Amino acid sequence: MEFVTGIKKSECCSIEQAASGTLDGQTVRMEGTIHTIRDMGEVAFVILRKAEGLVQCVYEAGKTPCALSDLQDSMSIRVTGTVSKEERAPQGFEIRLAEVEILSRPYETLPLQISKWKLNTSLEAKLNYRSISLRNVKERAKFKIQEAIVRGFRDYLHRQGFTEIHTPKLGAKGAEGGSNLFRLDYFHTPAVLAQSPQFYKQMMVGVFDRVYEVAPVFRAEKHNTKRHLNEYTSLDFEMGYIRSFEEIMAMETGFLQYTMELLKTEYAREVKLLGIEIPDVSRIPQVRFDEAKRLVSEKYNRTIRNPYDLEPEEEVLIGRYFEEEYGSKFVFVTHYPSKKRPFYAMDDPADPTFTLSFDLLFEGMEITTGGQRIHDYKQLREKIAARKMTEEGMEQYLDTFKYGMPPHGGLGIGLERLTMKLVGEDNVREATLFPRDLSRLTP
């Protein structure tokens, strides 16, 4: 009988090992895809693309036992060769090719020049050839930054005693009401796709006190803007036993601080490659909604048209104001008007026109919405009644409160928006592997 006992030590060498200097002069094996070939006459540089970066391999006519013309871009190969220090090479070393084994070959030349430093093409072309455009090292680096954000979110919350949950995306009713829902037939029953894990994460606060989820959400919004997606990844958490909604903002600030450190340490390569300036999140200003409106109206000489709404331009100006006045790219705007928040938002006892809630703006764009929730069953039902909403389909959600729930609150962060702002893009599609928008359902 044969047994599987776990992974074996790879016969192939990683970039890190080769770059360490300890293998200089030795023969190593390495695998990768030919990113580009630069023919210099006597020698040629065969640039290998690996997940961690590019590697310079040196082809020498007469020494490397294959014809240079046998090699082409986008071939997957396994090479054997001698490592030597070379400061001009991408990783500070190069491999002099002694053997080249072709593992796989392309059938056509690439439709995009992915080996260029900056992929010089339209967003449309990038998305149409998504699995190709992402092979460009700058393009893919954005998604390592995205990975860091998600790791930071999970690792930080885990350390803070949160439990990870997985809640259903198919349901009978949406959390925020009727509009903007994708509808479908579920074995002859009408169903919708979750626009947020709101109800479920609240229900789970009664079980685990603090919970988080990283999962897709679906919004059938007919917005066609640079910052809207119809499916995105939401970073959600919900925490019980809070004394104030400010604890939620403090938790988010803690997550951001942790993640910026993670970027500086474990993602330094991608941070450098993309020229990211890690924002200072040691302290994030917080300002009331009405006060923020007043401040930008005064400073930028702008009339307040609607005291209960924030226009996108106002958001941008609030971002600008706090960058100019306090040097912060982030600002918490608190106490949003009650009528702009869902029924479960807790109204401010001092003035129920406003809620104990907040948005976090990053360079003037909303990346988070959060706040304290109503935890008292009667209060919750009264607010539903006052809004002339129906309780239908919310029975089990409401029962959770009937049987007792601690005070709690939480937030949702749009992963792609946070990624987009961090990597310095101005279209959220640039920070999404396979974006879904009004006109895009493929690839």
Q: How far apart are CA 46 and CA 71, in angstroms?
A: 9
82 CB-near residues (< 8 Å, 6+ apart): 25, 26, 27, 28, 95, 96, 98
Q: Which residue has the tokens 């509808």?
A: 183
| Whole-number Cα distances in Å, 63 to 28, 32, 75, 400 | 16, 21, 21, 74
Q: Give the pair of three-digit tokens for residue 396.
A: 């089990």
Specify the residue, 169 or 302, whose C-beta has the smaller distance to a copy of itself.
169
Point out which span in 89-97, 118-126, 337-345, 432-440 binds a copy of itself (CB under 8 A).
432-440
Q: Nearest approach, Cβ of 87 to a copy of itself (angstroms)?
A: 26
Report residue 408: phi and psi, to 5°: -160, 165
CA distance 423 to 430: 9
Q: State the nearest-atom distance from the C-beta of 352 to a copy of itself, in Å.
A: 19
Nearest to 26 by CA among 67, 79, 83: 83
Q: Is 178 in the site for a copy of itself (CB under 8 A)?
A: no
Q: Which is nearer to a copy of itself, 45 or 129 (CB)?
A: 129
99 binds a copy of itself (CB under 8 A): no
385 binds a copy of itself (CB under 8 A): no
Helical H segments across 308-357, by residue range: 312-326
**Under 8 Å between Cβ of 361 and 333:** yes
Minimum CB separation from a copy of itself for residue 285, in Å? 5
Report how far residue 1's alpha carbon sits from residue 212's, in angstroms, rounded to the nearest whole number: 44
Asked whether position 383 contacts a copy of itself by CB under 8 A, the answer is no
Of 43 and 110, the one with the shorter C-beta distance to a copy of itself is: 110
Part in contact with a copy of itself (CB under 8 A); list of ranges 36-44, 196-204, 309-317, 362-370: 196-204
Member of 103, 268, 278, 385 binding a copy of itself (CB under 8 A): 103
Interacting residues with a copy of itself between 263 and 322 (CB under 8 A): 282-287
Instruction: Specify the stretch interacting with a copy of itself by CB under 8 A; choose among 35-43, 101-109, 349-357, 364-372.
Output: 101-109
CA of 64: how far to CAs of 26, 69, 79, 83, 226, in Å? 16, 12, 10, 14, 49
Q: Exactly one of 113, 257, 297, 353 binds a copy of itself (CB under 8 A); which one?
A: 257
Q: Of all helices (H) and strands (E), which one includes residue 179?
A: none
- Per CB under 8 A, the list member of 176, 247, 261, 309 interacting with a copy of itself is 247
Nearer to a copy of itself, 85 or 443 (CB): 443
Query: Least distance in Å: CB of 281 to a copy of itself?
Result: 9
Tokens standing for residue 393: 């389909």
Q: Tell me, residue by residue from 338 to 367, as one string, x for binding to a copy of itself by CB under 8 A and - for no binding.
A: ------------------------------
Among 35, 210, 227, 383, binds a copy of itself (CB under 8 A): 210
**Peptide bond before residue 443 is cis, with ω within 30 degrees of 0:** yes
Q: Candidates 36-44, 55-63, 345-353, 395-403 — which segment interacts with a copy of itself by CB under 8 A?
A: 395-403
Site for a copy of itself in 50-79 (CB under 8 A): 50-52, 74-76, 78
Candidate residues 63, 105, 299, 305; the one interacting with a copy of itself per rule CB under 8 A:
105
Separation of alpha carbons 265 and 319, rounded Å: 28
Residue 86 interacting with a copy of itself (CB under 8 A): no
When asked if residue 125 is in the footprint of a copy of itself (CB under 8 A), the reply is: no
Q: Specify the residue for token string 């039902």.
A: 381
Closest contact distance (angstroms) between CB of 366 and a copy of itself is 16
- Strand 93-104, strand 53-60: pairing: parallel
DSSP 9: P
**Region 216-235 residues binding a copy of itself, contact defined as CB under 8 A:** 216, 218, 220, 222, 230-231, 233
117 binds a copy of itself (CB under 8 A): no
Residue 146 three-state SS:
helix
- Ranges of H-type helices in 302-358: 312-326
Which residue in 267, 332, 336, 362 binds a copy of itself (CB under 8 A)?
Answer: 332
CA torsion sign, 425 to 427 to 432 to 434? negative
Contacting a copy of itself within 15-54 (CB under 8 A): 31, 33, 50-52
Please state, in angstroms and rounded to a whole number, the distance separating the CA atoms of residues 44 and 62.
12
Q: Which residues in the 134-153 window bind a copy of itself by CB under 8 A?
A: 134-135, 140, 143-144, 146-147, 150-151
State which of residues 227, 293, 341, 375 lies at the interface with a copy of itself (CB under 8 A): 375
Which residues, 6 or more positions from 411, have their beta carbon under 8 angstroms from its beta carbon? 236, 237, 248, 252, 360, 368, 369, 370, 371
Nearest to 412 by CA among 262, 203, 216: 216
Question: Is residue 404 within the footprint of a copy of itself (CB under 8 A)?
Answer: yes
Instruction: Give 61 or 170: the residue with its C-beta nearer to a copy of itself.
Output: 170
Tell me the number of residues near a copy of itself by CB under 8 A: 124
